[in-house]
Structure 1
Amino acid sequence: MKQLAIPFLFLAMPAYAGTCPEPADRSGEITNIVRQLTLAPNEGAAAAWNAKLWEIWLDAPDALSQTFLDRGMAQRSYSNFVGALANFDALINYCPDYAEGYNQRAFAYFLQAKFDKALVDLDKTLSLSPRHIGALSGKALTLMGLERDEEAQEVLREALKLNPWLSERRFLKDGPKEPGVRL
């Protein structure tokens, strides 16, 4: 029955022709926000800056790509992984240079404990957006799921250099776990 559901899912999606526009270059904004995260005096201030990063990352290049992203995230939130993955696949096919498509698909794979597939998508996310803190912390957790703890610790330290307030800091094995402490 699942095999029949996927083609019908695409009938509900708008038909598209053409190509996805290039994702906007928001590296200047990201640099400023990361700087603010490293200077944040408390968790509340850091959370506000982190939310601004997610606003940037979740801003798809056009209306169609935003539709794929929003539908995929909504379906994933209801554990409809077949539908979520179909939307993220469509997003990636349409916008192969949009990092968040890969990141969101990685999260869907992670939630299903498909860590090998998640890792491939996280690496692609980071190749397109090297300072994607969500992808870095997700990669650390994925590596932990794969029992590659040494690598996970390295990636977690990278993420904490960008945002020392990450909740994932509790997984740091050696070194300071207090926010704001330089690693």
Structure 2
Amino acid sequence: MTATQFISTRLFARAIAGAAAVLTVGALTACGSDDDASTTLTQAESVTLTDQWIKAADTEMTAEFGILTNNSDNQVTVTGGRSDAAGSVEVHEITEADGVRSMQEIQGGLTIPAGATVELTPGGNHIMLMDLTRPIRAGDQVTITLTFADGSTLDASAQARDFSGNQEKYADHETSSATSHAGE
């Protein structure tokens, strides 16, 4: 073997070894990315909202209902949001003390445990659309963007329905006077 052939063979062997190293690192990175993807999902990417609907309303406020499912191994928290039909979107709950029911914003947001489902229902936990910017009529599609504790967002569209239930009087949590909660 001549010196030129020796050098060419040696360079070829190094090139093959280098290519093999690059392919090995690429394969390991690709395998690792599947595991990393499950742990790096945002809270919004971990949640599905199904069977959502909004109560038709003319003014002030209304509510959205549906089923929130956390498909991850970590708890997630819905902190609020925004809508094309409201000034603000808040997460609310109904509480009862001394026989008086009241609606209030859930401080810190609505937490959904890992792998759990939370139903948003009239008379229970729900999403409030506050300070409506337009009437919401039965059949209208309303866009809502839910915001999560990590800052991620989930866009959803819900159809408005007529709903005559839950016209009870609630104690206003800010003024302690009874107010109608027609939105829920």
TM band (smaller chain): under 0.3
Rg larger for: 2
Higher strand share: 2
TM-score by length of 2: 0.23
Higher helix share: 1
TM-score by length of 1: 0.23
Q: Which structure is higher in RCO with an 8 Å CA cutoff and minimum separation 6?
A: 2
